[in-house]
Amino acid sequence: MFRTLRLLVSKWRASRNANQQLDILLSGAHPGAARAERNEWLIELAHWLHRGGAAARDEASAHHPIHTRLRYLLLVLERNPAWRSNVARLIRTTLRESDGISLLCESGMPTQPGFFGAVIDRLHGMLIPPAANTSELSGLVTLMFPAHVDARWLADLPDDLLHGLRALIVFDLDAQTHRGADRFSRDLLAALHTLTCQISSTGLSRFVRNRLSEHGKPANHKLAPFFELRRALLAVETAHDRWRACNDEPETLRHLQRELNVLRLMLDECAATARGIYGHLARHGVSVDSVFQIERMHTRCARALRLLEAWLSSDDIRARARLVAELVEANQQSLSVVHLVRSNFSLLARKVVESNGDTGEHYIARDRREYLRMLRMALGGGLVTMATVCVKFAILGAHFEPMTEGFLAGLNYAASFLLMHFLHFTLATKQPAMTAPTIARELDRTDTPAGVDAYVDSVLALIRTQTAAIVGNIVAVVPACLAAQWCAAHLIGANIVTASHAHRTLESFSLFGMTPVYAALIGVLLWASSLLAGWADNW
């Protein structure tokens, strides 16, 4: 048993020694191994880069210690040509046999047709990571770069490390392999064709056509970019091949630039058309699936532009590094349910808040006429409140079962609020929940002196309006309750509330008891009901 413990301790100490582990790791690189073994070796190498260890930091890599470890790795490989050859051939074999289209086209973009399907897909990816023998490059990138800082240190790689990595990949490259070394450019072009097909398919779908129609008539001129997108990409590909075949002649270069401008224009118009659908949603209501489709098409347009830039700058290693960093970041976002929900619910939340803000404007009196109108609305609200309280005490006095009593009490309050709404009355306790979005919207404009003045005016008007609502409610409730009690005593010879019940009710209110907690809870419930009202108004 002690021998086993000593062995475990020695292995743990060896794992803490990064240099010793690197030697063992590099000696185990086998280019001819099965895909699963090659992928596991690359994952272990990435794990070594993420770990702390004996590799000393230098001043140039103080912000990214991984740069120091990567520089040390390249130095070790330069001193051991056999290891370097095996590592280079292993990387090239993995890149050649992996599907790069999944990383270029699908990272950061859900593949499911609907929002809730994408949520389930991401939950599945979070719970069950990709297998080590995956043939998709996106799955391998997920396993190699799981940390959020990976995209940052990849984007900040210095030039010497970039050139060192490129020299490692092409090391000991024979003539036959060198002819196929431009596979990444071919993958970029294939990804561009895939994205343009997806953009055109979404843009010509019934979902987009119905939302681009004008006065019930189809807007065919807005669909033209989706028809021309595939043709524009084929024209760019043909012009690029002709330019390469003619040894960079000026005329072919100008023709290529013209075709590139047309393709970029088509992509920009497709993205602008997608943004234009937001106006239709603002007028006719927002749905999560609608926002999901628009955001995905907009993301595909932006990704196509980035891939086009990387495809054209095949000799710019810095542009390739930026693209890889963006793909790593997008691949991490592909596993984030929070990112998906935030990006697709933002428009719905904004629409709900704007609806609440527009409603809250009616509860802010900005002149004498609106102030008197608010006072009349508060008087009506006080009368309805008095009737609600009387019905409440009648329900409590009937001594129903607790479930029946709670149901009738809730029905009583719901009916009173609906009555206030249809009669255009108001209750002072309801106003803050409706006016808060309006004040928040005014607060967003305080970056200018005019915005500050408007915000101060709105706050003062809100205070005056709230005072009018409180005064109106109290002025109506007190005499109405006295009148109701007088009528009950003279007509039926009974009190609405007995003296003992009234004393118990007053004693239940305490500033140092649960009353403030209940009041705060009511405020939260009123605010939540205002959000639900805005959500219902969206439909």
Tell me how far apart the 2 most distant CA atoms of the chain are, in Å.
Answer: 111
- The pLDDT assigned to 288 comes to 61
Is 200 within 8 Å of 229 (Cβ atoms)?
A: yes
Percentage of residues of the chain with pLDDT beyond 90: 11
Residue 297 half-sphere exposure toward CB, CA atoms < 13 A: 29
Q: What is the mean pLDDT of residues 452-478?
A: 86
Q: Indicate the pLDDT class of residue 244, thresholds 50, 70 and 90.
A: confident
Please give the residue that has the higher pLDDT: either 471 or 530.
471
Query: Which one has a higher pLDDT value, 212 or 88?
Result: 88
Over residues 99-136, the pLDDT tens digits come to 888 888 878 776 666 666 677 777 766 677 777 888 88
The residue among 261 and 216 whose pLDDT is bigger is 261
Regarding predicted confidence, which is higher, 334 or 392?
392
pLDDT class of 412 with cuts at 50, 70, 90: very high
Distances (CA, A) of 292 to 67, 229, 271, 297, 331: 38, 22, 14, 9, 18
pLDDT tens per residue, range 376-391: 888 998 899 889 988 8
131 conformational bin, left if phi > 0, alpha if psi -120 to 50, beta if neither: beta
538 contacts 355 by C-beta, under 8 angstroms: yes
DSSP state of 104: I
Q: How confident is the model at residue 141 (pLDDT cuts 50, 70, 90)?
A: confident
Indicate the SS3 state at residue 205: coil
pLDDT at 178 over 60: no
Q: Is the pLDDT of residue 98 over 80?
A: yes
- Predicted confidence at residue 60, as pLDDT, reads 46
Give me the half-sphere count of Cα atoms (radius 13 Å) on the Cβ side of residue 69: 19
Q: What is the mean pLDDT of residues 406-424?
A: 89
Domain residue ranges in the chain: 1-177, 183-313, 351-538
Q: What pLDDT sits at residue 19? A: 45
Q: Which of 124-128, 348-352, 399-403 is most confident?
A: 399-403
The residue among 17, 47, 69, 297 whose CA lies nearest residue 147 is: 47
Q: Which tens digit of pLDDT belongs to each residue from 428-455?
A: 877 776 677 677 767 767 778 887 888 8
What is the per-residue pLDDT for 65? 84
**Identity (one letter) of the amino acid at 378?**
A
* Mean pLDDT within 178-182: 53
41, pLDDT greater than 80: yes
Are the C-beta atoms of residues 277 and 257 closer than 8 Å to each other? no
Question: What is the pLDDT at residue 433?
Answer: 66
Instruction: Give the model's confidence band at 463: pLDDT under 50 very low, under 70 low, under 90 confident, else very high.
Output: confident
Judged by average pLDDT, the poorest of 233-237, 245-249, 282-286, 439-443 is 282-286
Tokens standing for residue 123: 């939950």
Q: What is the mean pLDDT of the segment spanning 192-213?
A: 84
Global pTM reads: 0.62
> Is domain 183-313 given the CATH code 1.20.120 in the classification?
yes
Which letter, b or e, does each residue of 56-65 get, where b requires 16 or more Cβ atoms within 10 Å of its Cβ? eeeeebeebb
Nearest Cα neighbor of 104 from 195, 15, 210 is 195
- Comparing CA positions, the residue from 410, 406, 397 lying closest to residue 498 is 397
